[in-house]
Amino acid sequence: MFQGLIWLSKTHQTETIYIYMLSNKTRSMLYVGVTADLEKRISQHKNGEGSIYTKKYHLTHLMNFKQFTAIVQVIAREKQLKWNLIKSKNPELRDLFEDLR
């Protein structure tokens, strides 16, 4: 993921960059991705190309997307989305290891 962001930051400094969210048919899984070509990337996901994780869990339904012009904004938004998800499931940010026992 970070290699992709480094590439985006070097090659798309003034172009549109998208952050997007995919889910599966039952809406039980979520994926957050970043791309410079949203239509192409979503087509790849729908065809099972480019991401082992999205292919494995059939994450092909585009739930949300937003465009940015600066990679720093995209990285900040991606972190915000992921932390919000974590906090909604684990508000105290507890180490859940003990729950495994």
Domain segments of the chain as ranges: 2-92
Give the mean model confidence (pLDDT) for residues 7-25.
77
**pLDDT per position as a tens digit, 27-45:** 999 999 999 999 999 999 9
Angle, in degrees to the nearest 10, between helices 71-89 and 2-11: 150
Collect all residues with Cβ–Cβ distance below 8 Å to 55 and sequence separation of at least 6.
45, 48, 49
Assigned architecture for domain 2-92? 3-Layer(aba) Sandwich (3.40)
Tell which phi-psi region holds residue 65, choosing left (phi > 0), alpha (psi between -120 and 50) or beta.
Answer: beta
Higher pLDDT, 2 or 59: 59
Confidence check: pLDDT of 61 > 70: yes
pLDDT of residue 6: 53
| Digit-coded pLDDT (tens) for 82-94 | 999 899 999 999 9
